[in-house]
Each structure stands twice: as C-alpha cells, then as structure tokens.
Structure 1
Amino acid sequence: MTQVLLKENEGIDSALRRFKRQVSKAGILADIRYHRHFETPIEKRKRKAVAARHKRSFK
C-alpha cells in the first residue's frame, strides 16, 4: 500500500507529487486498468499474440 506522510513545512502539492510518483513506480494504475473489465479467454489469447508479435518485431 502506498503511503505518503507530510514532512514538516511541506505543502500538499509536493506531497501529492511524491504520492503520484510512488503510485506510478509501484504500477498500481496499470494494474487497475488491466483488471478493469473481465477478459474472456479468447481476448486474452489475442492480446498475448499481439504482444508477442510486437515483442518479436523489436528484436
């Protein structure tokens, strides 16, 4: 769980920036987007196939 404690004489803006940085490093938003909707097995196979093709094209 991501947590940011306010330091002495720290503004909310800088604390919010630190929080956003921690959330992005932890990959929380990506995980939420990934689990937002149910994915059928066929959709999962298609997504993995596209990712494999994309990965192969950059090698």
Structure 2
Amino acid sequence: MVKLTLRERETAQEAVRRFRKLVERSGIKKEIRVREFYEKPSETKRRAKIRAERRNRRERMLGRA
C-alpha cells in the first residue's frame, strides 16, 4: 500500500507527481496491467519462453560484436 503525506508548502501538483512516482516504483501499475485480463498458464509460459529466447539471442549478438 502506498502512503503519501503532504510536505510543508507542497502544492497539489507536486504531491500528485510524487504519488505517481511512488505507485510506479511499487509495481502497482504493472500488477494491474497483468491482472486486467485472465491469461491461461500455458500462455504465460509461452510468453516467458519467447522472452527468454529473445534475451538469449540478443546476448549472443552483443557478445560477438
């Protein structure tokens, strides 16, 4: 849970900006996107496998250069 206490002489805009940063760092936005739609476990594994293959390919290409 993200808590934000207003500082002295802090405007509402500054507080909102600080709140957005706190939410972003805590990973809440990412979690909401993931849970927005149900995804079958097989799809999750498939996407993770594709991501790992791309990462490995990228590392191989950068290692040779």
TM over 0.5, yes or no? Answer: yes
Gap regions ≥5 residues in structure 2: 60-65
Tell me the TM-score normalised to structure 2 length: 0.78
Q: For 1:58, what is the secondary structure of its paired residue?
A: helix
Task: Give structure 1 regions of 4+ aligned residues with deviation exceeding 2 angstroms.
Answer: none
Residue 47 (structure 1) aligns with: 47
Deviation per residue, 1:1-56 (Å, 9 max, x gap): 11111112210000011111111111110111111111112211211111111221
Gap regions ≥5 residues in structure 1: none
| Matched positions, count | 59
- Distance between the aligned counterparts of 2:13 and 2:2, measured in 1? 17
Tell me the TM-score normalised to structure 1 length: 0.84
CA RMSD of aligned residues (A): 1.2
Q: Quote how far apart the aligned CAs of 1:58 are.
A: 2.4
